[in-house]
Structure 1
């Protein structure tokens, strides 16, 4: 139900409300693509009362899977250590399929790197928290990410690199 509220389904058959030329984007589905949880030092690690040092690595990927369908994947790796001993490792790739109709090509990639991740992030965040909790540790709630800001920073860095390489 939450998916429908965030992004209504799109009829890609062309038999919709007669506005076949109107741009449309929709979240078709979302899913766990890959999930791994490691607890290599159980049960001994549960005896340690120190808080773990947690390292979170994050990546966004996109893939065109059909003419009007693209996949956005969020990959997160969480590694927790207590006094140099691994407490747990979570490796998750969570993905969503997005459908596009009559959207200019130059607008698709920005959407896939900003709005797509924003829509599926809360669900990925829940999978991470539940997995860690189910592994016997307090759940980790990942901080929200401003995907628009990340995209702008990446665009500016790319533009700066292009400008710098043009002066060489």
Structure 2
């Protein structure tokens, strides 16, 4: 004779927990990959003898697209250009992606994970790809400074909310 039914009832395990349904919120990185990488070294080998310090221009962009109800693709685009007085030393364009799995999250949490937390997780790997690409182009590895994706996300969120509040605040 089995008392399993009584034990489950006594523990209060009813509804979805009894049938194995997973209703807990969950978010994570399923996979990550280089989607596109372009390395240009237009003035090699002359650029290796240039002595003036180059100006490094770094541009970032974050994009996302929904693939299914629970999976999205996040794309970090990083564009670098190193220019010295004599010309362009190198140009690197990287599209580094991650597949994000999100289940049982509200829309605000999905948005925050997609545009703040997931880029924070993926960035160190994209940074390594950039460092290796610069090194493989014949220059010292370029280590990008860490980026506060959460801070940027909160600033952009506040700016968007501020656009709707055009009325003056306080007394003058």
TM-score interval for Structure 1 and Structure 2 normalised by the shorter chain: 0.7 to 0.9
Q: Any gaps of 5 or more consecutive residues in structure 2?
A: 1-18
Report which of the two structures shows the higher radius of gyration computed on alpha carbons.
2
* Residue aligning to 2:9: none
SS of residue paired to 2:67: strand
Kindly provide the CA deviation profile for residues 23-56 of structure 1, in whole angstroms up to 9, marking residues without a partner as x.
1112110000111000111111111122211110
Q: What is the correspondence of 1:129-148 to structure 2 with a 5 Å cutoff? A: 129-148=131-150
The count of corresponding residues between Structure 1 and Structure 2 is 150
Partner of residue 107, structure 1: 109
How far does residue 19 in structure 1 lie from its aligned partner after superposition?
A: 5.5
Task: Give unpaired runs (5+ residues) of structure 1.
Answer: 1-16
How far the C-alpha of 1:158 sits from its partner, in A, is: 0.8
Q: Is the 8 A contact 2:38 2:93 kept in 1?
A: yes
Q: Is the 8 A contact 2:27 2:113 kept in 1?
A: no
TM-score under structure 2 length normalisation: 0.83
Paired with 2:53 and 2:109, the residues of 1 have a C-alpha distance of: 44
Stretch moving more, 48-57 or 134-143: 48-57
Q: Distance in 2 between matches of 1:105 and 1:155?
A: 14
TM-score, normalised to structure 1, is: 0.85
Return the match for 2:45 from 40, 43, 46: 43
CA–CA distance in structure 1, aligned partners of residues 86 and 49 of structure 2: 15
5 Å-filtered alignment, 1:80-159, equals 80-159=82-161
Tell me the SS of whatever aligns to 1:42: coil
Show structure 1 runs of 4+ deviating over 6 A.
Answer: none
SS across alignment from 1:114: helix
